Amino acid sequence: MQQASTADRPADGPPNVTLPRRVDAVLIDVGFTLSVYDPERIAAVVHALGVEVDPQRIEATQPALRHALSHSSWAFSPRGEGASRGQAFFAHLLTLAGAAAEAGALDAAAERLWQTHLADNLWSRPLPGAHEALALLRDAGLRLAVISNAEGTIDALLHRMDMRRHFEAVFDSTVVGVAKPDARIFQMALSALQVAGESAVMVGDSLKADVEGAQGAGVAAALLDPHDHHPGAQVPRFADLLAFARALVQGAMQ
């Protein structure tokens, strides 16, 4: 695939930077890239524990949590530090959403959300345009792989969202034992797709895990930044995956 276009910025910022001139493969993050946590499911889980929270207020936590996670390089995992930080994430989400609960109930609700998430990934609502973006990339002849810091449920999640069919390979950090930004997980994906780093691009929402991780592995990166949190980032920025896909494909046609 030849000659990718200049990125569309989500808002005013530094001069545009370009995607690679040649792209044969796209490595794609999942959370806040393909999907987001489901407010209705979260509200239903905690309601059973006596915690009341409005799904619309859960929805409204996305900008703040996007910003926090975009600076994080830690990997979610079922046990150890990953588990404690996963529970803390859900506790923070409930607090931001103004959840009403008796003393101690919020922590219990966060733990229940974490256990529910491990059994059936709560990041199960596809983001607008994600399906269209994947189809567009595949129709353009690009080879696709997922690289996600997750808890071993990403393959099943992609099947449930009817996205797995677009990917030749899926690299879930818990399954493969390596997490972004470690260069090895990017190298695993490149090896599986049989492409060189200079002919691939990583797209995701995290500066630490996706952008810095990819660059450390010799792979170009694009950042999804819908709330314009990173106007100074010296990589192509897009509002969502569909905007990225359109720019990449349209550039190849020029």
Nearest to 145 by CA among 130, 126, 166: 166
Give the phi and the psi of residue 92 in degrees, each rounded to 5.
Answer: -65, -40
The pLDDT tens digits of the residues spanning 198-233 come to 999 999 999 999 999 999 999 999 999 999 999 999
CB < 8 Å & 24+ apart, contacts of 171-174: 171/145, 171/146, 171/147, 172/146, 172/148, 173/75, 173/76, 173/77, 173/148, 173/149, 174/75, 174/76, 174/77, 174/78, 174/150
Quote the pLDDT of residue 13.
38
The pLDDT tens digits of the residues spanning 53-81 come to 999 999 999 999 999 888 876 666 677 77
Q: Which of the pair, 16 or 146, is modelled with greater confidence? A: 146
Q: Does 94 score more than 90 pLDDT?
A: yes
Q: Does 147 score more than 90 pLDDT?
A: yes
Q: Does 122 score more than 80 pLDDT?
A: yes
Quote the pLDDT of residue 200.
97
Read off the pLDDT band of 47 (50, 70, 90): very high
- Structure token pair of residue 54: 């409005």
**CA-CA distance, 207 to 149, in Å (whole number)?**
14
Q: Does 37 score more than 70 pLDDT?
A: yes
| Average pLDDT of the segment spanning 170-194 | 96
Q: What is the pTM of this model?
A: 0.91
Quote the pLDDT of residue 182.
96
| Average pLDDT of the segment spanning 147-157 | 96
Q: Does 92 score more than 50 pLDDT?
A: yes
Q: Does 12 score more than 50 pLDDT?
A: no
Quote the pLDDT of residue 8.
44
